[in-house]
Structure 1
Amino acid sequence: MLIETAFCTRDVLAPDRFSCWREHISQTYVPMDVEGDHPADTTVSQRILALGAVQLWTMEHSPMTLRRTQKLIQQSDPELYHLSLNLRGTMGLTSSGHEAEYEPYDLVLHDTSQPHLIRATASHGEDTTLGTGLFIPRKLLPLPEMAIDSLIMRRLSAREGIGTLLAQFLTQVTRDSGSYRPDDGPRLGTVAVDLLSALFAHALDVGDSLPLESHQQALLLRIRAFIQANLHDPQLTPRTTAAAHNISTSYLHRLFQHEEETVAAWIRRQRLERACHDLADPAQRTIPIHAIAARWGFPRAADFTRAFHSAYGMPPKDYRNQSSQHCRADSC
């Protein structure tokens, strides 16, 4: 299971819930002041998953206002970008004299080093708002800081393209957090950064205006996001990936020459890791192994078994049985 920190007002007596939540959030590494619309009826449920240096948060709560003041920034400034994905209700954001509102499936970036105010309002007929997002150290994003800063408070869509892929990743990792191991956290954090960087590169429409190195990095991020979205396609190869990005196969290989793996090896590992996850999932125990293999781009069972054995030292059937035994021992 991923390392998780949770807070829930259900664990607190009703009269003390608002003050307890206010004290809790004032003592985090990104402290904020809180004003509740109806403090006596405060409801908060917050989860934070550790993905290496990246933090994935999900929060459902009553309508409220959260302020990050200059005084609180001086108290603690971890120098993070804060990405929010609104899932229910309306989120208003005020920073540097600008105001904007965000509806469900809008993505917005802001800077924890700048004073800002977040106003969360429930939809008609609802009592709470719901959102998820990321805290990302600035140094982890490969694009120029000036370019990223131009995206602060800009509305980005999670309804299409890379935004949808990022939203699906955030919600799926949160939903399935119990099926991952703690050492999966940093790898998932890398995926999150790759997807976010690819989204930003797309939003910036980076091109010849950026230095060659930054342009190549942005292209590489787009390519990784494309691969992750098309792992199910058995026709996904370096050649088809290059064609989809209007570059030559040789140029694609040059982009990966300073990476730890070749593009073909990276595609194979991504497929195997997802198949590995599904084989270890008790909820998918009845799904035939060949069906899981086909789901992740291995239409030939023999090819999958050979690749899996080479990567994990055992056939996929033995891996599934071993995972099932561990699960029973741990009372999954």
Structure 2
Amino acid sequence: MLNERVFRTEDVPAEDRLAYWAERMAQTHAPVQVRSDHAEDFRATQRVLDLGAVTVWSATFPQVVVRRTPRLIRRSDPGLSHLSLVVAGTWTADWGDHEVVYRPTDLIVGDSSLPAEVRGDQGPVALVGLEVPKALLPLPRGLDGRAVPRRMTTCQGVGALLAQFLTRLCEDTGPYRSCDGPRLGTVLTDLVAALFAGALETGSALPTEVRRRNLVLRITSFIDEHLPDPELTPSVVAAAHHISTSYLHRLFQEEESTVAGRIRSRRLAAARRDLTDPALRTLPVHAIAARWGFPRPADFSRAFRNAYGVAPKDYRQKVLEADRLARC
């Protein structure tokens, strides 16, 4: 499991809850002033994932106004770039020289060195936040924090990939080990760097290794989204990313598997998951195979047996029977 903690304002007396929430914001991002129409009984929850130097957090809370003032900045500035994915509610931010309205799927892009007032106009509000030390972002020196757009979209490109990564990570941390935290932090840092570089049109200034990792991440995400397509092959993947098949194979030389190997292993893992789903017990094995890109049952059976040492039908029967006995 990743290193994660959960905080609830209901764990402290009602009169202390808003102050407790302000302390949480200070520890997660930077010292801020907080006020709310619900100050007498401020009910909020925050879940924090420690990923090395990077922090990811998800939170739900009622209407609130958060201010980062010049005085607070002079007193304490941790040097963080902050991004919040708006999951629910509407936000309005006053950045001093302009105002921005944020709605679900928008990214609020902040900076601990810049004053701001951010208002959650409707509640309950839900956010997924990301804190990245600015020193880790390999962008050209001399760029003022105001150069980065305060609002970014997650409907396409790197923004969509970042939002997907954050959402999936917060939905389920079970598959990860504590030692995976810093690696996941590196991936998120690279994505933020690519997002900022694209917005500033400085993508060529990113280190080669950062660009390579971002391309591999986009490719693996593409593969996961297209697993049901039986025509998904390395050449199709390469064409979708406007690179040659030979370059695609070179990219994956440093990965744990080849491109074809990843496609096969991800398909088999998805099929195995469906085989053990009680809700799908009446769905034939060949139908499950077909829904994950194996149109020929014999090919699926052979690949499954090679991967897991047992025929898919026998595996399904064994797991479902064990689940039945466990419930008795």
Instruction: Give the TM interval when normalised to the shorter protein.
Output: 0.7 to 0.9
* Structure 1 residues 31 and 48: CA distance shift in structure 2, 3 A: same
AA aligned opposite 1:70: I
Which structure has the bigger radius of gyration?
Answer: 2
Q: What's the counterpart of residue 233 of structure 1?
A: 229
Would you say the 8 A contact 1:84–1:109 is kept in 2? Answer: yes
Q: What's the counterpart of residue 15 of structure 1?
A: 15
Aligned residues: 320
User: Matches of 1:135 and 1:220 in 2, distance apart?
Assistant: 23
Superposition map of 1:234-249 within 5 A: 234-249=230-245
User: Matches of 1:252 and 1:230 in 2, distance apart?
Assistant: 17
User: Matches of 1:44 and 1:156 in 2, distance apart?
Assistant: 26
Q: What's the counterpart of residue 122 of structure 1?
A: 121
User: Matches of 2:295 and 2:53 in 1, distance apart?
Assistant: 36
Superposition map of 1:193-272 within 5 A: 203=199, 216-272=212-268
AA aligned opposite 2:315: D
- TM norm structure 2: 0.72
AA aligned opposite 2:109: L
Would you say the 8 A contact 1:91–1:102 is kept in 2? Answer: yes
Give me the CA root mean square deviation: 4.4
Q: What's the counterpart of residue 152 of structure 2?
A: 156
Q: Tell me the CA shift for residue 100 of structure 1.
A: 3.3
1:113-163 C-alpha deviation (Å, 9 max, x unpaired): x2443513233xxx321211333466876x646699787344222234554
User: Matches of 1:311 and 1:149 in 2, distance apart?
Assistant: 50
Q: Tell me the CA shift for residue 85 of structure 1.
A: 0.8
* In the alignment, structure 1 residue 33 sits paired with structure 2 residue 22: no
Q: Which residue of 309, 315, 318 corresponds with 1:318?
A: 315
* In the alignment, structure 1 residue 91 sits paired with structure 2 residue 91: yes
Q: Tell me the CA shift for residue 35 of structure 1.
A: 1.4
User: Matches of 2:270 and 2:287 in 1, distance apart?
Assistant: 13
User: Matches of 1:213 and 1:291 in 2, distance apart?
Assistant: 41
**Identity of counterpart residues, as a percentage?**
43
AA aligned opposite 2:9: T
1:233-264 C-alpha deviation (Å, 9 max, x unpaired): 22111111112223221122223334343222
Q: What's the counterpart of residue 65 of structure 1?
A: 65
Q: What's the counterpart of residue 109 of structure 1?
A: 109
AA aligned opposite 1:102: Y
Secondary structure of the 2:109 match is strand
Superposition map of 1:277-316 within 5 A: 290-315=286-311
Q: Tell me the CA shift for residue 60 of structure 1.
A: 1.3
1:76-122 C-alpha deviation (Å, 9 max, x unpaired): x3x6543211122333445686653322211233344x244351323
AA aligned opposite 2:45: S
* Structure 1 residues 182 and 218: CA distance shift in structure 2, 3 A: closer
- TM norm structure 1: 0.71
Q: What's the counterpart of residue 56 of structure 2?
A: 56
1:273-327 C-alpha deviation (Å, 9 max, x unpaired): 4455556667766766555544443334443444344444555553785598589
AA aligned opposite 1:109: V
Q: Tell me the CA shift for residue 225 of structure 1.
A: 3.3
Structure 2, unpaired ranges of 5+: none
Secondary structure of the 1:70 match is helix
1:174-215 C-alpha deviation (Å, 9 max, x unpaired): 3445x6454696476677567666656765667767676665
